[in-house]
Structure 1
Amino acid sequence: MRPDGIRLLPWLIGAVDLLMITAATILAIRFRLTLSVFDTAGDVLQNTALASVFFIATWLVMLAFFGTYERHVFGAGTEEFKLVVNASFFTAALVATMAFLMQYPLSRGFFVLYFPIGVLLLLVGRLFSRRTIQRLRRAGHFNERVLLVGTPGYIGEISTVLERESWLGYQVMGCLVPSDYAGLQMTSAGIPVLGLSEEVRAVVDEVSPDIVFFTAGAVSSSTQLRRLAWDLEDHAHVQIIVAPNVTDVSSERVRIRPVAGLPLMHLGRSRSQLATNDAKRAFDVVGALTILALTWPVLAFLMIWVKRHDGGPALFRQTRVGRDGAEFTCLKLRSMSVDAEERLAELEARDHVLFKSAEDPRVTRPGRFIRRFSLDELPQLWNVVRGEMSLVGPRPPLPSEVEQYEDDMLRRLNVLPGMTGLWQVSGRSDLSWEDTVRLDLYYVDNWSMVQDLLILARTVTAVLASRGAY
């Protein structure tokens, strides 16, 4: 039996959608009646009020028809938002067509206001719902029980990812292994072995998982996988997920093309070269100059505060490594004492090349404040203007760090380093070194302008919440 929370989740999301669409209806009517750009109201209120129930019901039906209430779209990925937008455009077209065919006196002003406001509110509602669901999943609610199938090595990799990304809501309950591992009671990752791969049907009947997750090595042929899927076809509540042996690749680079019954996966090239195009550079320059124009009073005040605190320089200049290994002088507001480099030996060395301490005695009083909200990085806007950095990109490393890089890590230098990036919005200094590298490499290989905009938006939230900032 599936948990009640999982069954209720689509209804809860539907209730939020109903609230957003109703609010959009009220706002559209109000603006139509009050905005001076429109003609006199006439009988707009009466006609619109009569049709509003139909509009709301049609919109909700279209959202359901387009699959926006399927549980696999909740909580992660962009598919949910794409489906909401597509369903909304289809609803607008349907309403306009029916009003025309039925010769219904629908206010054009109301129509023009209604759907843009509605789409915006729906997306805001879905975003709020997603954040709420992710927080609840981290707390152990709305989780789905997962049965992994595959070799112990791949099972360990997948279970590590699912445990790390607890906001996905996947709770591993056990695994099945090929007959070559018969007799194994538990994998090296600590996942209990509940049986063999061929016994999927019997184990599902016994433990009732929500998801059967086939990893690489789960089956010896596509025919075997197809037969195992047939065995589960009468378990309507059980999702089947197949993980290809491809990781850290964005959906924009993957195309599935069926050929002669084979679902071929076409993997696009790395987008690291696109991350250096003129459009991104123009966006960086305009964005940096705009932020500087808005924040220069704050920056000037902070520089005076830092200078007067101990008489040292307001700016801290440090050599960093940029694109293609070129060194440059990175600017920051000084947050440490003037003898910070000499006192470095007092602190314990970290276990990776990225050094940062949560209890660093060298940080000054103004430094703790500006670090908390990442204000020490404001001078780097000038590095962006000079073309040494970007608004979004991998963290700019020290030369000593680059000397310890392995071959894979050098790919971080294919693009300009950034003031913010995936590493920052995903936890900043709370992340392990391995996770920091993984996120930076993902960004380099899967760059897109939309992703940059999302990272910038998430940066505001991360900074205000002071997550991982010290």
Structure 2
Amino acid sequence: MDARRTTARARSERLLQLAIATGDVFVIGTATLLAAAMRFDVPVVPTSGDVNSIAVSLGPWILGVWMLANAMRGTYARPHLGVGTVEYARVLGAAGLTASLVGIASYLTKFELSRAFFVLLFSIGAPLLVVWRWSARRVVKNLRRRGHLLTKVLISGAQERVDEVAAVLRREKWLGYQILGALVPSARSVDATPGGVPVIGFTHETAQNALASEADLVLFAEGAFPSPVDFRRIAWDLEGHDVQMAVVPSLSDISSGRMAMRPVGGLPLVHVEPPQSLAASRGLKRAFDLVGATLALLLALPVMIVFALLTKLQDGGPVLFRQTRVGRDGQLFECLKFRSMVVDAEARLSSISHLNKNAGGVLFKAQNDPRVTKVGAFMRRFSIDELPQLVNVINGDMSLVGPRPALPAEVRRYETDVQRRLHVRPGLTGLWQVSGRSDLSWDDTVRLDLYYVDNWSIVQDLTILARTVKAVFASHGAY
């Protein structure tokens, strides 16, 4: 039975890798043809020789070297396909390696390779490969949400830790983990953990339970084994079987960029870099905000003028809604938005308190708020009402990306840990917006904001801005 399962699972993974590799071949071939066709459109880089014949003769060699570089850089490795930024980094690294090899080979052999063709080939090919991988991820994620390409998982450890890990896997369904059950250390028989994960066995029988349940992966959380020797024995028992193992460290909400594995005398030490909240409030991010907000404001100005007129013509009230919010280090500032509610919205708040979806949190959320105007509902759906906050970003009160700007009344109710959100400027967008917006619970909003504060990077800001475009047009949680 195990052999048949292994064959079926391996076949699906090989098909996925083959599909990705086939797409890479098509993209690189297309880039080669485009580079040959567009070579005269680069006037600052002169062409040399018969580029068409060079492209035909050299193209297959470049394709072969590029695909070999992809394989060597691990762009088809199973753990990184469809998850995280490592795959993209390796794809770009393989493109750089190929460019270096082609350039060095041309120089050493004195081959007259057209510089225009060379520049265009990698300028077109590398971005196209990233776009292709991104598109493939969308397909894989949709398949996983529909129950395909799933990884069957057993979670081993103390019941509380099992529930914590299970909550993450259930929340991030696109990862494709199907939870089969839990293995707990207690000798007392229980049917399920407090979080509802069925208990199918005990940790001291991990290998037997993994094989019997046909698991693809065993996640070891805290409490899964009493000593390193026990874990080593489990690994020995699973040797020769197609069952992967992963250890969940007693760390949470720390990005991979802040962690580095450094073995010392056989002891795997995970070094964790300090939080990045100070870096998230200094010059580089500020310069990024200034340039980005200025460009965005110039592009958005026609749209802003149209909706400013529509808001004014609707009821004759003010165009802008000004509200005091709490910025970095608790400083107050006037947050600007297009007015999306009736003029006396604040006075009506007490009469609709029963509509609050977040009675246990510090935010007021009502999915069908009667105070929202027709123009305001449209602006909220596509976040147009927040465009004036670009002025706040230019003024230095806000950032393009950051935690949600909070009201003073909300901040007064913050617990100690939540105060850390105020270490950086609030953002026009953030992890909270691209992860669900108003559909998020208060706890999830706090968790995402604290993750951002501690793990800031320019790459993460760019990723969030790209995801914001999708979130805005999808309109999930916008009300």
Task: Note if 1:82 corresponds to 2:89.
Answer: yes
Deviations 1:161-214 (A, max 9, x none): 000011111111112122x34422221222222222122221222222111111
Q: How many correspondences in the alignment?
A: 468
Distance in 2 (alpha carbons) for counterparts of 1:98 and 1:204: 50
> 2:312 aligned to 295, 307, 310, which one?
307
Deviations 1:121-159 (A, max 9, x none): 111111111122222222222211111111111100000
Question: 1:246 aligns to what?
Answer: 251
| Unmatched 5+ stretches in structure 1 | none
**TM-score of the pair, normalised by structure 2:** 0.93
Task: Note if 1:27 corresponds to 2:34.
Answer: yes
Contact preservation (8 Å) 2:222, 2:248:
yes
Question: 1:401 aligns to what?
Answer: 410
**CA shift for structure 1 position 104:** 4.4
**TM-score of the pair, normalised by structure 1:** 0.95
> 1:441 aligned to 434, 440, 450, which one?
450
Contact preservation (8 Å) 2:51, 2:114:
yes
Question: 2:50 aligns to what?
Answer: 43
**CA shift for structure 1 position 285:** 2.1
**CA shift for structure 1 position 119:** 1.1
Contact preservation (8 Å) 2:145, 2:173:
yes
| Unmatched 5+ stretches in structure 2 | none
Distance in 1 (alpha carbons) for counterparts of 2:326 and 2:137: 37
Contact preservation (8 Å) 1:33, 1:41:
no
Question: 1:196 aligns to what?
Answer: 202
Contact preservation (8 Å) 1:32, 1:41:
no
C-alpha change, 1:284 and 1:227, in structure 2 (3 Å) is same
Contact preservation (8 Å) 2:163, 2:194:
yes
Contact preservation (8 Å) 2:319, 2:339:
yes
**CA shift for structure 1 position 117:** 1.7
What value does the CA root-mean-square deviation take over the aligned residues? 1.8
Task: Note if 1:61 corresponds to 2:71.
Answer: no
Q: Which amino acid aligns with 1:62?
A: A
Q: How does 1:342-381 map to 2 (within 5 A)?
A: 342-347=347-352, 348=354, 349=356, 350-351=358-359, 352-381=361-390
Question: 1:426 aligns to what?
Answer: 435
> 1:142 aligned to 118, 132, 149, which one?
149
Task: Note if 1:330 corresponds to 2:330.
Answer: no
Contact preservation (8 Å) 1:24, 1:117:
yes
Q: Which amino acid aligns with 1:296?
A: L
Identity percentage over the alignment?
51
C-alpha change, 1:40 and 1:158, in structure 2 (3 Å) is closer
C-alpha change, 1:339 and 1:448, in structure 2 (3 Å) is same
Any idea what SS the aligned residue of 1:173 has? strand
Distance in 2 (alpha carbons) for counterparts of 1:113 and 1:191: 53
**CA shift for structure 1 position 103:** 5.1
Distance in 2 (alpha carbons) for counterparts of 1:108 and 1:250: 40
Q: Which amino acid aligns with 2:373?
A: T
Deviates more, 1:386-395 or 1:134-143: 134-143
Deviates more, 1:329-338 or 1:107-116: 107-116
Question: 1:212 aligns to what?
Answer: 218
Q: Which amino acid aligns with 1:270?
A: P
C-alpha change, 1:40 and 1:162, in structure 2 (3 Å) is closer
Task: Note if 1:160 corresponds to 2:167.
Answer: yes
Distance in 1 (alpha carbons) for counterparts of 2:47 and 2:155: 64
Question: 2:121 aligns to what?
Answer: 114
Question: 2:237 aligns to what?
Answer: 231
Any idea what SS the aligned residue of 2:446 has? helix
> 2:275 aligned to 256, 270, 277, which one?
270
Q: Which amino acid aligns with 1:183?
A: S
> 1:392 aligned to 376, 401, 419, which one?
401
Q: Which amino acid aligns with 1:255?
A: A
Deviations 1:216-251 (A, max 9, x none): 11111112112211221212x322111100010011
Question: 2:264 aligns to what?
Answer: 259
Distance in 1 (alpha carbons) for counterparts of 2:68 and 2:47: 33
**CA shift for structure 1 position 320:** 1.1
Question: 1:461 aligns to what?
Answer: 470
Q: Which amino acid aligns with 2:193?
A: T
Contact preservation (8 Å) 2:340, 2:375:
yes
**CA shift for structure 1 position 353:** 1.4
Distance in 2 (alpha carbons) for counterparts of 1:149 and 1:91: 43
Question: 2:422 aligns to what?
Answer: 413
Q: Which amino acid aligns with 2:429?
A: T
C-alpha change, 1:391 and 1:35, in structure 2 (3 Å) is closer
C-alpha change, 1:296 and 1:47, in structure 2 (3 Å) is closer
Deviates more, 1:277-286 or 1:315-324: 277-286
Any idea what SS the aligned residue of 1:341 has? helix
Task: Note if 1:452 corresponds to 2:458.
Answer: no
Deviates more, 1:241-250 or 1:68-77: 68-77
**CA shift for structure 1 position 449:** 1.4
Deviations 1:427-470 (A, max 9, x none): 11121111111000000011111211211121112112222211
Distance in 2 (alpha carbons) for counterparts of 1:40 and 1:186: 70
Any idea what SS the aligned residue of 2:201 has? strand
